[in-house]
Structure 1
Amino acid sequence: MSTPVPDAPTASPRVRLGRDVVVLGVIAFFVMVGFGVVVPVLPVYARSFGVDNTLVGAVLSAFALMRLVASPFVGKLLDRAGERLVLSVGIGIVAVSSGLAGLAETYPQLLLLRGLGGIGSAMFSIAAMTLLLATTAPSHRARAIGFYQGGFLVGGMAGPALGGVLATISLTAPFFFYAATLLIAGLVGVVLLRPARGRTSTTSTEPPVPFAVVLRDIRFRAACVASFSQGWSSLGVRSALVPVLVVEVLKGTTAWTGIVFAVAAVAQTLALAPAAKLVDTVGRRPAMIGAFAVAAVTLAAVAFSTDIVMLGVLLAVYGVATAFMGTAPAALVGDAAGGRGGRPVAVFSMCSDLGAIAGPLVAGLLVDTTSYAVAFGSAGALLAVSAIISLRLPRGAAPTPQTEEARPGSPGRAS
């Protein structure tokens, strides 16, 4: 399992991540490779059923909507069945639904299967994050999260390229490939993840924190606000509006959209490891304040880009900020929830899904009624709110297991 760090958190720059963390990172890679293969062809595949653009959008939204609907139940399911079983079943649901989507004969069948995939995705993602937080010491929690998210990022960069090749074979080939990668991920989880009885977690002495106590913790509240604002800005506004901005305002081709997104993804990937280390050693508070403030300014400035180069630079800076934004809030959830946090992780995930669903809708309305500057400014304002709320976070580096246990009134203090 994870090796405890010395008394001085900054004394040892190298931290050995536990076996479960490495396995979860591998699973994340295979899941995201398959997801990245499907995403570019899904709108075209849905259109092949003869539906209009609104119904094409419904297929894209069904996945996120069912994730949101299923999340509250997943937290309770984790308490009964455990993370390993819920994670494996969730991946299995997405695998089967994706394979069947490639065989769909009607639009309603495709819509239903994508919705089922969203339920499985909620089960997998919440179980994986809960397991990750439960089996990692607070002093290197962000580094474990960074490794896990690195699997997603690398898989996400490889997936679309493979999807383009598979799409030349047929529009359904990516769905079968996605099912295959998910089956591999599920097998990796079943075989290599330790059952709860065989797990020796460095945080096993942390008792479960009552959910009502977690809700009152400023660390959890700040993390949820950050999750919502990031879902709104990254998954919503940036993904929905940047492609349109490139074509309609900057008069570029759609290929340039892929290039600037790739630049941002590379910047985020390169920054992930040092960002996670800083979150653990310097502290969650400065990472939250600095990253969300920088993200607020750069994303608001995207609307004023005068050419593709300027847009690429701004998105690259935003990508570096998202390396911190992806690790610090999740680490705060683990700090607040203690050794087991299924329900807190579910609520945290729901906040991101809400932002991802509402962000594109509101941003699109703002572009139609006002301007791109107002639409991107809405995302910047929410990111700035996260930075301001983070001013209330406790100072100092991440707690070690010893200091967390000894701290009076600590939510995770052992009894």
Structure 2
Amino acid sequence: MVRNPQRSALRRLLPFPPAGRPIRKEQERIPREIKVLIASAFVIAIGFGLVAPVLPQFAQSFDVGVTASSVIVSAFAFTRLIFAPAGGRLIERLGERPVYVVGLLIVALSTAACAFAENYWQLLIFRGLGGIGSTMFTVSALGLIVRLAPAGIRGRISSAYASAFLLGSIGGPILGGLLAGFGLRVPFLVYAGALLIASAVVFFQLKDTRLGDRRTGAAQSVLTVREALKDSAYRASLLSSFANGWSSFGVRLALVPLFATVVLDAGPGIAGISLAFFAGGTALALTVSGRLADTWGRRPMLLIGLAVNGLAMAALGFAGNVPVFLAICVVGGVGAGILNPAQQAVVADVVGSERSGGKVLAVFQMASDTGAIFGPILAGIIIDQLPSGSFALAFVVTGVLTAAAFVLWLGSRETLPARGQAAPPGAA
């Protein structure tokens, strides 16, 4: 049988399962250890949501302005970013589990310290220390999932993990607002207590899990960042992670509510509802996107997710009324929900369960954090410096960046291995 080279080239570009790869039937169950991490993620997300609504108010209680209270929020993300490389080195030296537990403890203690801060500068320092612990448990949690998740259900596990965080982040602010009625310091203490419980559960539930930790003396290969960058899938994942951080974690939180109040003149109620609609779209997509990433392939889901999210974000600035605006928010959330599980599964495929890749995972996380930090800054500059219509331009820039990630993924490899095969490490 003679193959048509043009048809083969088309198959590589289009988001279809590679030829010869069977559609998988789900047979594997999520390991118990992964379920522990998912439950812990839910607790962490609820706790983060507890303090998020009250943190700016608590900062302003020390007689500072809006800018200073915003710095308190940014300090957490900034220390997460700058400490990520060190967190990756700790994982490679000590192992994922100890770094995860210590990271939770650091966030717990720093959050409790925030409750007893006596001035603005103490609050800033304590909140910044929390960012160090956050990047430790975030990167090590991804490392644990890489090591413990069977390759055939990595997408489903990433989807379940993301869903736990999403549900926690939705319920946390509601509970935090109620607890704030007892005092602005109370949510910090409740969050710290929840983290102490979560760290104890993870420590005791995973202490007998065989992972080939460094302390056992077992030899284990390490995937370096230089080696990972030779893989087209990892390179594309960095750009899509940056674009997703810019869009879903940066511009969405900073610009979408502002557009509702300033441009649509819809009031703060619609601003909050818009974020809920976006989260609802993400939750809807997460119910199926992980399974599709494990059957159809990682690359098709990434391409679809980037296309849907990018087009929705670019269209937001042209919404002329509230119903259209909210509908686009839902579509944007669906795109993010399609994208995220496949993206994390790709990085897990690249690292593999038999290698350590702390620095590789840290760089991947840094890409998202960098986008989340600089996206709102550039969007704010565009809106402040340019004439009317600049909101639309800021959203279009976000869509263009997502489109760039889409183009890079068109030429990148599929990492989902065929049944019974391992993904080739470092494939171009």
Q: TM-score, normalised by structure 1?
A: 0.92
Structure 1 residue 205: Cα displacement: 12
Tell me which of 267, 276, 285 is aligned to 1:271: 285
CA contact (8 A) 2:308 2:332 kept: yes
Tell me the CA shift for residue 269 of structure 1: 1.3
Q: Give the superposition deviation at 1:183.
A: 1.3
| AA partner of residue 413 (structure 2) | P
Q: Are the counterparts in 2 of residues 49 and 107 from structure 1 also a CA contact under 8 Å?
A: yes
1:201-220 equivalences under 5 Å are: 208-220=222-234
- C-alpha contact (below 8 Å) 1:139/1:400 kept by paired residues: no
Would you say 1:398 and 2:411 are equivalent positions? no
| Structure 1 residue 172: Cα displacement | 1.0
How far apart are 1:325 and its partner, in Å? Answer: 1.8
The answer (yes or no) to whether the contact 2:313–2:396 under 8 Å persists in 1 is yes
2:363 matches 1:347: yes
Match of 1:298 among 312, 326, 336: 312
Residue pairs, 1:361-380, within 5 angstroms: 361-370=377-386, 371-380=390-399
Give 1:56-205 correspondences, 5 Å limit. Answer: 56-195=69-208, 197=210
One-letter amino acid of the counterpart of residue 189, structure 2: F
Instruction: Judge conservation of contact 2:250–2:375 (CA < 8 Å) in 1.
Output: yes
1:356-401 deviation per Cα after TM superposition (whole angstroms, max 9, x unaligned): 1111111101111220011111111111111111101224x72157
Determine if the alignment matches structure 1 residue 235 to structure 2 residue 249.
Answer: yes
Query: What is the Cα deviation at residue 8 of structure 1?
Result: 7.3
Question: How high is the TM-score relative to the length of structure 2?
Answer: 0.89
**Shift of residue 311, structure 1, vs aligned partner:** 1.3
Structure 1 residues 254 and 208, CA, compared in 2 at 3 Å: closer, same or farther? same
Letter in 1 for 2:304: G
Aligned to 1:387: 406
Alpha-carbon distance between aligned partners in 1 of 2:368 and 2:211, rounded to the nearest angstrom: 32
- 2:39 is aligned, of 18, 26, 50, to 26
User: Compared with structure 1, are the counterparts of its residues 191 and 8 closer, same or farther at alpha carbon in structure 2 (3 Å cutoff)?
Assistant: farther
Deviation at 1:212, TM superposition (A): 2.1
Find the aligned partners of 1:86 and 1:195 in 2 and give their Cα distance.
16
SS at match of 1:403: coil
State the Cα distance separating 1:120 from its structure 2 match. 0.3
Write the letter of the residue equivalent to 2:362. Answer: A
Aligned in 2, Cα 1:274/1:199: closer, same or farther, shift over 3 Å? farther
Partners of 1:199 and 1:192 lie apart in 2 by: 16
CA distance in 1, matches of 2:137, 2:425: 27
Output the CA distance in 1 between the equivalents of 2:22 and 2:212.
24
Instruction: Indicate how the Cα distance of structure 1 residues 284 and 206 shifts in structure 2: closer, same or farther if over 3 A, else same.
Output: farther
Counterpart of 1:3 in structure 2 is none
Q: 2:259 aligns with which of 235, 239, 245?
A: 245
Q: Give the RMSD, CA atoms, in angstroms.
A: 2.1
**Separation of aligned partners in 2, 1:344 and 1:198:** 18
2:326 is matched with: 312
CA spacing shift, 1:136–1:305, aligned 2, 3 Å: same
The separation in 1 between residues aligned to 2:426 and 2:101, in whole angstroms, is 28
Q: Aligned partners of 2:426 and 2:340: how far apart in 1? A: 23
Report percent identity of matched pairs. 39
- For 2:344, the equivalent position in structure 1 comes to 330
Comparing 361-370 with 251-260, greater Cα deviation is found at: 251-260
Cα distance in 1 for partners of 2:155, 2:322 equals 33
Q: What is the alpha-carbon distance in structure 1 between the residues aligned to residue 24 and residue 371 of structure 2?
A: 39
Shift of 1:14: 4.8
Write the letter of the residue equivalent to 1:403. Answer: Q
The residue that corresponds to 2:54 in the other structure is 41
Find the aligned partners of 1:140 and 1:402 in 2 and give their Cα distance.
13
Measured after TM superposition, the shift of residue 198 of structure 1 is 6.3
Mean Cα displacement is larger for which, 239-248 or 124-133? 239-248
CA contact (8 A) 2:180 2:186 kept: yes
Structure 1: give runs of 5+ residues left out of the alignment: 1-6
Q: Is the 8 A contact 2:256 2:274 kept in 1?
A: no
Contact (CA 8 Å) 1:206, 1:412: kept in 2 or not? Answer: no
Displacement after TM superposition at 1:213 (Å): 1.5
Per the alignment, in what secondary structure is the counterpart of residue 251 of structure 1? coil
Aligned-partner Cα distance in 2 for 1:195–1:381? 47
Over 3 Å counting, the alpha-carbon distance change for 1:173 and 1:103 in structure 2 is: same
1:268-301 deviation line (CA, Å, top 9, x unaligned):
1122131011111111111111110111110011
Distance in 2 (CA, whole Å) between partners of 1:11 and 1:360 is 40
How much has 1:96 moved relative to structure 2?
0.7
Q: Which amino acid aligns with 1:332?
A: V
Deviations 1:47-94 (A, max 9, x none): 111112221111111000000111001111011211111001100000
Cα shift at 1:26: 0.2
Asked if 1:360 is matched to 2:371, the reply is: no
Separation in 2, partners of 1:412, 1:136: 20
Per-residue deviation at 1:38?
A: 0.6
Residues 325-383 of structure 1 show CA distances to partners (whole Å, capped at 9, x for unaligned) of 21122111111122232111100001111111111111101111220011111111111
Gaps spanning 5+ residues in structure 2: where?
1-19
Matched residues in 1 for 2:240 and 2:206: separation? 30
